[in-house]
Amino acid sequence: MVLDLIVNKTDDGFTAEVPSLTGCESWAHTEDEAISKTIEMVMFYTKIQDEKRLKIDKARGTFKRTLYKIVIR
């Protein structure tokens, strides 16, 4: 399974969301922290226990928005 992870830079930090999982979004001061929080929610929603089953690849990005692909093995 492959999921999109969209990270947006805001005035006060970063938001990260997985649009295909309703409610799977977070905010943090840093991009890495926002991604980490969102990955925890992805694991909860998909009932994955081992984070090693996830691979995160940066697909493309601009200054304000970055798209990552979460590959679930």
Question: What is the chain's pLDDT, residue by residue, as a tens digit (73 residues)?
Answer: 999 999 999 999 999 999 999 999 999 999 999 999 999 999 999 999 998 999 999 999 998 999 999 999 9
pLDDT of residue 38: 97
14 forms beta bridges with 9, 28
Q: Which value, in Å, is the radius of gyration of the alpha carbons in the chain? A: 11
Domains and CATH numbers, the chain: 2-72 (3.30.160)
